[in-house]
Amino acid sequence: MATAEFGKAIRRRRDRVSPETAGLPAGGHRRAAGLRREELALLAGISVDYVTRLEQGRATNPSAQVVEALARALRMVGAEREHLFRTAGLVPPGPDTVPAYITPSVQRLLDRLTGTPVGVYDAAWTLLMANPLYAALMGDPSAWRGNERNGVWRNFLGPGSRVRHTPRERRAFEASLVGDLRATAGRYPADQRLRRLVAELRTNSDRFAELWDAGAVGRQEAARKTVEHPEVGPLTLDCDVLSVRGSDLRIMIYTAEPDTQDAERLALLAVLGTQTLVG
């Protein structure tokens, strides 16, 4: 259970992190130099209400994912990051767990890709960070909790994604997800959260269990994907997955071929964000 110090630590650090440091535009007159709650919520991928309740001590059981997201958004590293985990009543992640830490250098890279949909996943395909354009393209993840943020879980037990697949593409995609997760489980056999995820998938998805027990191999590769967006229509985009050595992160980037209808729709989406059109 989080201590009272947890909320205070978030507030103190939020007051010291400028929007520019966090990769956000300063924008107009500000009463304080630090981040607003709305900005921290955006950066961490959680709701403003949840940030408020955490700071006020009214939410006392934040998950390791939430604490990691807050530490990342607040640019906490080293001892400061470890202290935040401990004040949340959690043990800081060790070398036997799937890394969920986005290094400052990777974060600076992401800060410069504001006009491109970018999502960052850990090695188990749990979404760690989605920039605003990625959220607009694939759906706002700010309200997702626990396994709802895991791409494997969403595709086998959840609502899936907006990506269109033929039956053949779907089978190959599922096999690549399972194969990739199996490889991750082999690298982090002591990760209890990962073990619980695999157990839930095997118990509740016959297709996952079939692929897992058959020893499916594979990994997510670069591909051309069509995303069915409810507001701007279908977008056919190139999807590249970049691996970060040393931190075992996956950076998923979507780009459109220049001077195409897909590029125009992606530009429109950048303007619309996650709002819904009313007609």
Is the pTM here over 0.85, yes or no?
A: no
Q: Taking residues 21-37, what's their average pLDDT?
A: 77
| Alpha-carbon gap, residue 231 to 137, rounded angstroms | 10
pLDDT in tens, 140-173: 988 888 899 999 999 999 999 999 999 999 999 9
How far is Cα of residue 16 from the mean position of the Cα atoms in its chain? 24
Specify the pLDDT at position 186: 92
CATH number given to 4-87:
1.10.260.40
Indicate whether 233 pLDDT > 80: yes
Strand partners, 127: 121
Say yes or no: domain 104-272 is CATH 3.30.450.180: yes
Indicate whether 277 pLDDT > 60: no
| Alpha-carbon gap, residue 130 to 63, rounded angstroms | 18
Specify the pLDDT at position 88: 92
Indicate whether 42 pLDDT > 90: no
Specify the pLDDT at position 279: 40
Specify the pLDDT at position 275: 63
**Domain locations along the chain:** 4-87, 104-272
Specify the pLDDT at position 274: 66
DSSP string, the chain: ---HHHHHHHHHHHHH--TTTTT----S--SSSS--HHHHHHHHTS-HHHHHHHHTT------HHHHHHHHHHTT--HHHHHHHHHHTT-PPP-TTS---PPPHHHHHHHHT-TTS-EEEE-TT-BEEEE-HHHHHHH---TT--GGGGBHHHHHHTS---SEE--HHHHHHHHHHHHHHHHHHHHH-TT-HHHHHHHHHHHHH-HHHHHHHHTT-------EEEEEEETTTEEEEEEEEEEEETTTTEEEEEEE--TTSHHHHHHHHHHHHTTPPP--
